[in-house]
């Protein structure tokens, strides 16, 4: 998810000021069909960085585990290597993922250098040799099996759209990115599913008017019953990034459509129990 700090708030302010100056013209987009029905209790389960409890995050192993437990979406953080490859890794550097003392920025390393890193041993000897995956490897694993919640950290929209279209997965991917990047996605791929995050609820009306989204993202610090109601009134579903499982009861009471969590297996259990 995008961290909402002082710089992000400033960016949002400038963006919405620009919308006001140009008459708040909305993006001309084709209607997006409703997503497939949630698999568990009417609520989409999004596995944050895959199912990574006891498994190295953002790896093929974590995504496979999430698929096998039956989540609806896996969240994939994307960054670009020095030689232009797109990989899934949350942090901008490798420092906390390895145990051999190596360090460096993902953007300053080649794909070959990154492939040499063992990012699994820090979790358990069972995962020794687990590597940083490329975006295409993830799409190959997930195609037809689970949706992708794409969190664009540092990658070219043009290249990402090309890859998504190559795998014919435009309707299987939710795009979480900055507003200018979402506008570029809309320009290149009208069938792609944008998922803007307005930050504070006060920004929600402008986001709805401009993007006319079918899916809206939220972070828990700005989320509320009225936030969810406004999304639903606009014909959009809302997927919230919870801060802990203690948020779930409120989220469900507010008819939240999807929850991104670090505890997908536990959430599935709660949803199935609630359904019965």
Domain membership flag for residue 204: no
Q: In the 3-class helix/strand/coil scheme, how is 17-71 assigned residue by residue? A: HHHHHCCCCCCCCCCCCCCCCCCECCEEEEECCCCCCCCCCCCHHHHHHHHHHCC
Strand, helix or coil at 238?
Answer: strand
Region 264-268: what's the mean pLDDT?
98
Whether the per-residue pLDDT at 23 is higher than 70: the answer is no
The pair of three-digit structure tokens given for residue 87, joined into one six-digit string: 């990989």
Are the CB atoms for 170 and 192 separated by under 8 Å? yes
Domain membership flag for residue 85: yes
Domain membership flag for residue 159: yes
Are the CB atoms for 176 and 182 separated by under 8 Å? no
Whether the per-residue pLDDT at 25 is higher than 80: the answer is no
Task: Report the predicted TM-score, pTM, of the whole model to 2 decimal places.
Answer: 0.89
Mean pLDDT is lowest, of 13-27, 132-146, 175-189, for 13-27
Domain membership flag for residue 154: yes
The CATH number of the domain holding residue 171 is: 3.20.20.190
Tally of domains in the chain: 1
Domain membership flag for residue 146: yes
Domain membership flag for residue 171: yes
Please tell me the distance from the alpha carbon of residue 20 to that of residue 4, in angstroms, as a whole number: 22
Region 102-124: what's the mean pLDDT?
96
In terms of residue numbers, what domain contains 149? 74-178+188-194
């Amino acid at each position: 998810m995008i961290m909402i700090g002082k710089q992000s708030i400033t960016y949002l302010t400038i963006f919405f000021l620009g919308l006001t100056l140009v008459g708040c013209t909305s993006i001309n987009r084709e209607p997006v069909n409703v997503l497939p029905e949630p698999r568990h209790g009417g609520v989409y389960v999004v596995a944050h960085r895959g199912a990574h409890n006891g498994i190295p995050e953002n790896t093929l192993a974590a995504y496979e585990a999430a698929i096998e437990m039956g989540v609806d979406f896996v969240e994939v953080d994307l960054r670009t290597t020095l030689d232009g490859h797109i990989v899934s890794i949350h942090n901008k550097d490798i420092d906390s993922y390895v145990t051999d003392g190596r360090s460096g920025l993902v953007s300053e390393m080649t794909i070959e250098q990154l492939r040499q890193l063992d990012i699994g041993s820090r979790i358990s000897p069972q995962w020794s040799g687990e590597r940083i995956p490329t975006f295409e490897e993830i799409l190959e694993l997930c195609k037809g099996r689970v949706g992708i919640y794409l969190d664009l950290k540092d990658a070219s929209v043009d290249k990402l759209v090309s890859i998504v279209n190559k795998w014919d997965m435009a309707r299987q991917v939710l795009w979480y990115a900055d507003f200018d990047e979402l506008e570029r996605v809309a320009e290149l791929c009208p069938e792609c599913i944008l998922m803007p995050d307005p930050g504070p609820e006060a920004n929600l009306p402008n986001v709805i008017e401009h993007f006319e989204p079918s899916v809206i993202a939220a972070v828990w610090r700005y989320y509320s019953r009225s936030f969810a109601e406004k999304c639903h009134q606009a014909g959009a579903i809302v997927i919230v990034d919870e801060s802990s499982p203690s948020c779930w009861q409120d989220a469900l009471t507010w008819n939240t459509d999807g929850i991104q969590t670090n505890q997908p297996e536990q959430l599935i259990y709660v949803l199935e129990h609630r359904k019965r």
